[in-house]
Chains A and B, each alone.
Chain A
Amino acid sequence: MPKDHGIGASSKRREDVRFLTGQGRYTDDINLHGQAYVHFLRSDVAHGRLNKVDTSAAEGMPGVIRIFTGKDFEGVGGLPCGWQVTDRHGNPMQEPAHPVLAQGKVRHVGDPIAAVVAETAAEARNAAEAIVLDIEELPAVVDMKKALRPDAPKVHDDLSSNLCYDWGFVEENKAAVDEAFSKAAHVTTLELVNNRLSPNAMEPRVAVGDYNTGTDDSTLYTTSQNPHVIRLLMGAFVLGIPEHKLRVVAPDVGGGFGSKIFHYAEEAFCTFAAKAIRRPVKWTASRSEAFITDAHGRDHVTKIELALDAENNFTAIRTETYANMGAYLSTFAPSVPTWLHGTLMAGNYRTPLIYVNVKAVFTNTVPVDAYRGAGRPEATFQLERLVDKAARELGVDPVDLRRQNFITQFPYATPVAVEYDTGDYNATMDKLLEMIDRDGFEARAAKSKADGKLRGLGINCYIEACGIAPSALVGQLGARAGLYESATVRVNATGGIVVMTGSHSHGQGHETSFAQVVADMIGVPEAQVEIVHGDTANTPMGMGTYGSRSIAVGGSAMVRATEKIIKKAKKIAAHLMEASEGDIELKDGQFTVAGTDKSVAWGDVTLAAYVPHNYPLTELEPGLEETAFYDPNNFTYPAGAYACEVEVDPETGKVTICSFAAADDFGNVINPMIVSGQVHGGLAQGIGQALLENVSYDENGQLLSASYMDYAMPRADDVPFYQVDHSCVTPCTHNPLGVKGCGEAGAIGSPPAVVNAVIDALHRGGMKHVAHIDMPLTPARVWSAMHG
Chain B
Amino acid sequence: MYSFEFAKPKTIDEAVAALAGEEAQALGGGQTLLPTMKQRLAAPATLVSLNSIPEMIGVCVNDAGHVCIGGATPHAVVAREAAAHYPALAALAGHIGDPAVRNRGTIGGSLANNDPSACYPAAALGSGAVIKTNTRDIAADDYFLGMFETALNEGEIITEVRFPVPQKVNYQKFVQPASRFALVGVFVAKYADGVRVAVTGASSDGVFRWAEAEAALNADFSKAAIDALSPPEGTMISDLHGTDAYRAHLVKVMTGRAVAAA
Contact = CB atoms under 8 A, between A and B. Distances in A.
Contacts of A704: 240
A125 B39 CA distance: 11
B66 interface: no
Q: Which 3 A-B pairs have the closest CB atoms?
A: A712-B178, A780-B242, A712-B177
A653 B177 CA distance: 13
Given A704-B240, A780-B242, A780-B243, A709 B249 contact: no
Contacts of B39: 288
B178 A783 contact: no
A713 B177 CA distance: 8
Given A288-B39, A651-B253, A780 B246 contact: yes
Given A652-B253, A709-B178, A778-B177, A696 B240 contact: yes
Contacts of A710: 178-179, 240-241
- Residue from A125, A708, A713, A783 whose CB has the most chain B CB atoms within 10 Å: A783
A692 interface: yes
Given A652-B250, A652-B253, A783-B249, A692 B243 contact: no
A594 to B, nearest CB: 64
B221 interface: no
12 contacts: A288-B39, A652-B174, A691-B177, A692-B178, A708-B178, A711-B178, A778-B242, A779-B183, A780-B242, A780-B246, A784-B243, A784-B246
Nearest to A698: B240
Q: Give the most central of B1, B183, B240, B243: most A CB within 10 Å.
A: B240
Given A652-B250, A779-B174, 11 more contacts: A125-B40, A692-B177, A704-B240, A709-B178, A712-B177, A712-B178, A713-B178, A779-B177, A779-B183, A780-B246, A783-B249
A713 B249 CA distance: 25
B179 A709 contact: yes
A125 B178 CA distance: 29
B105 to A, nearest CB: 15
A783 B179 CA distance: 20
Contacts of A599: none
A495 to B, nearest CB: 49
Contacts of B179: 708-710
Contacts of A633: none
Contacts of B243: 780, 784
Interface in B230-262: 240-243, 246, 249-250, 253
Contacts of A652: 174, 250, 253
A386 B183 CA distance: 33
A727 interface: no
Query: Secondary structure of the A side of the interface?
Result: loop
Contacts of B253: 651-652
A155 to B, nearest CB: 24
Contacts of A779: 174, 177, 183, 242
> Which of B39, B40, B177, B240 has the most A CB atoms < 10 Å from its CB?
B177
A704 B239 CA distance: 10
B176 to A, nearest CB: 8
Nearest to A692: B177
Interface in A603-650: none
Given A288-B39, A652-B250, A780 B241 contact: yes
Interface residues of A, number: 24
Nearest to B174: A652
Interface in A435-467: none
A287 to B, nearest CB: 11
Interface of B is mostly: loop
A775 to B, nearest CB: 13
A651 B177 CA distance: 17
A763 to B, nearest CB: 22
A692 B178 CA distance: 8
Nearest to A122: B1
Nearest to A705: B240
Interface in B105-127: none
Interface string A580-594: 000000000000000
Nearest to B247: A780
Contacts of B246: 780, 783-784
**Max chain A C-beta neighbours (<10 A), residue from B1, B178, B242, B249:** B178
A122 B183 CA distance: 36
A416 B242 CA distance: 41
Interface string B110-147: 00000000000000000000000000000000000000
A389 to B, nearest CB: 26
A561 to B, nearest CB: 47
Interface string A703-725: 01100111111000000000000
Contacts of A694: 240
Interface string B174-188: 100111000100000
A783 B244 CA distance: 13
A129 B43 CA distance: 14
A708 B253 CA distance: 27
Contacts of A125: 40
A692 B241 CA distance: 10
Contacts of B177: 691-692, 712, 778-779
Interface string A301-318: 000000000000000000
Interface in B174-211: 174, 177-179, 183
Contacts of A708: 178-179
B203 to A, nearest CB: 17
B192 to A, nearest CB: 31
Find the residue from A122, A710, A780 having the highest chain B CB count within 10 A: A780
Contacts of B178: 692, 705, 708-713
A756 B174 CA distance: 25
A708 B183 CA distance: 15
Nearest to A776: B177
A711 B179 CA distance: 8
B187 to A, nearest CB: 18
Interface in A512-556: none
Contacts of B240: 694, 696, 704-705, 710
Contacts of B183: 779
A712 B181 CA distance: 12
A651 B227 CA distance: 13
Interface in A685-744: 691-692, 694, 696, 704-705, 708-713
Contacts of A129: 40
Nearest to B250: A652
Contacts of B241: 710, 778, 780
Contacts of A651: 253
Nearest to A713: B178
